[in-house]
Amino acid sequence: MQTLETPKTPKIISQPDFDTTIHRRKTRPVKVGNITIGGGFPVVVQSMINEDTLDIEGSVAAIRRLHEIGCEIVRVTVPSMGHAKALATIKEKLAQVYQPVPLVADVHHNGLNIALEVAKHVDKVRINPGLYVFEKPRATRTEYSQEEFEKIGDKIRQTLEPLVISLRDQGKAMRIGVNHGSLAERMLFTYGDTPEGMVESALEFIHICESLDFYNLIVSLKASRVPVMLAAYRLMVKRMDELGMDYPLHLGVTEAGDGEYGRIKSTAGIGTLLAEGIGDTIRVSLTEAPEKEIPVCYSILQALGLRKTMVEYVACPSCGRTLFNLEEVLHQVREATKHLTGLDIAVMGCIVNGPGEMADADYGYVGKQAGYIALYRGREEIKRVHEEQGVEELINLIKADGRWVDPSSVGS
């Protein structure tokens, strides 16, 4: 049964007692082309094209499309040597017809030669420890001996070494991308199908890289179930702290699906970790066109105050006190001001609670009395105008403050 707490006398806490900043975990900076992941740089947005890299024109167009809408690093997949070689032409064409774009290539299992080829053309190579040296699982197996475990460990080292050396000598990066769904059998037997198995899998690869003086690493521990993903990243941070490692983390929820639930699931996983200060780059994986992923990434970052890429709108949910059609006015205000990146604008239904709940917005549009609204600059009421002139007068106020930008000059 739920019990009620005795109400306490409310205490007004002064502003300096609150710390509303997200304290990001300190990580080393890792360069991927002209973008830096970690090292206190803004959280980087990534996505992946679906095109076959043998389709050069299609791939160049898809990479460009993503980059133009804010995807800062674009991933491609290279299942064969032909696909890896095609990246040389893709990179060249991008530079010719557009501009260089930081590229990451996913390398599939047992693909050392492919990895070595693609490492020449991209800025980062992503490997999956569970598949890099692929051992077919044995259905009849009941245990995994230490000897067998180490034997495969040696094979991993031998296979990884040339790639690590190549990336190290070119000053490029590697993502050690563990996936819960593809943990190696030896990890499953040793640590179970657990976040611990995921973390140990990443650490094994990190140790090999470090033994070769290669530290341009980014780590991911994705899972399709949010609680598993959260536990894996948190454990990874704990283990890295214990080991004195400061590698940046790439966050994502795999197979998040599509639509509203796919977005909510991704936000639950990625947003929770970011709020804890964990994460240096993100990808929202939706079963939709990759272009749809970018606005979700930016919305998560904006909501947490980690990046400001659009106007922050504060609007009350409306209630019996609302003095105008809030949904419609919010839409009008948004349409008129959405290009003013950096501003916070509030639209509040009434004067009773509106001004106090505007969350320190730069400007406020507040219902004053039937047919009239009040315009605010910060906490100060500037003027009362008829509802019909509300949006126009809001724009005039922003203009008078010298904070207006002509929409046609944005993005050109």
Residue 254: name the closest of 85, 139, 106 by CA: 106
Note whether 370 binds ligand SF4 by CB under 6 A: no
- The two beta strands, 217-222 and 250-251, are unpaired
In angstroms, what is the minimal distance from the CB of 262 to ligand SF4? 30
Of 353, 377, 396, 405, the one binding ligand SF4 (CB under 6 A) is: 353
Note whether 313 binds ligand SF4 by CB under 6 A: no
Note whether 317 binds ligand SF4 by CB under 6 A: yes
In angstroms, what is the minimal distance from the CB of 372 to ligand SF4? 14
Contact 329, 390 (CB under 8 A): yes
Question: 103 to each of 34, 110, 371, how far by Cα in Å?
Answer: 10, 21, 55
In angstroms, what is the minimal distance from the CB of 385 to ligand SF4? 18
Backbone angles phi, psi at 99, to 5 degrees: -165, 165
> What dihedral do alpha carbons 157, 161, 164, 167 form, nearest 10°?
-160
Note whether 318 binds ligand SF4 by CB under 6 A: yes
Contact 187, 226 (CB under 8 A): no
Note whether 177 binds ligand SF4 by CB under 6 A: no
Note whether 359 binds ligand SF4 by CB under 6 A: no
Identify the bridge partners of residue 20 per DSSP, sorted by sequence position. Answer: none
The token duo for 111 is 């693909």
Of 97, 289, 303, 319, the one binding ligand SF4 (CB under 6 A) is: 319
Contact 387, 327 (CB under 8 A): no
Backbone angles phi, psi at 62, to 5 degrees: -70, -40
Q: What angle, rounded to 10 degrees, do the helices at 259-275 and 293-303 form?
A: 40
Note whether 348 binds ligand SF4 by CB under 6 A: yes
- The two beta strands, 344-348 and 363-369, are parallel
In angstroms, what is the minimal distance from the CB of 11 to ligand SF4? 23
In angstroms, what is the minimal distance from the CB of 365 to ligand SF4? 12
Question: Is the Cβ of residue 16 or residue 317 nearer to ligand SF4 in the bound state?
Answer: 317
In angstroms, what is the minimal distance from the CB of 401 to ligand SF4? 24
Question: Is the Cβ of residue 89 or residue 353 nearer to ligand SF4 in the bound state?
Answer: 353
Q: How far apart are CA 266 and CA 86, in angstroms?
A: 32
Residue 316 labelled as part of a binding site:
yes
Note whether 354 binds ligand SF4 by CB under 6 A: yes
Note whether 358 binds ligand SF4 by CB under 6 A: no
Residue 357 labelled as part of a binding site:
yes
SS (H, E, C) 367-379: EEECCEEEEEECC
In angstroms, what is the minimal distance from the CB of 320 to ligand SF4? 7
Of 177, 349, 364, 390, the one binding ligand SF4 (CB under 6 A) is: 349
Which of these segments, 88-96, 121-129, 316-324, 369-377, binds ligand SF4 (CB under 6 A)?
316-324
Residue 220: name the closest of 207, 208, 210, 205 by CA: 205
Of 243, 289, 303, 352, the one binding ligand SF4 (CB under 6 A) is: 352
Note whether 243 binds ligand SF4 by CB under 6 A: no
Note whether 321 binds ligand SF4 by CB under 6 A: yes
Residue 319 labelled as part of a binding site:
yes
Note whether 322 binds ligand SF4 by CB under 6 A: yes
CA angle 396, 400, 404 (to 5 degrees): 75
In angstroms, what is the minimal distance from the CB of 364 to ligand SF4? 11
Per-position b or e across 97-118, b if 16+ CB within 10 A of its CB? eeeebbbbbbbbeebbebbbbb
Residues from 110 through 169 that contact ligand SF4 (CB under 6 A): none
Going by the annotation, the residues of the binding site are 316, 319, 350, 357
**Residues making contact with ligand SF4 (CB under 6 A):** 316-319, 321-322, 348-350, 352-354, 357
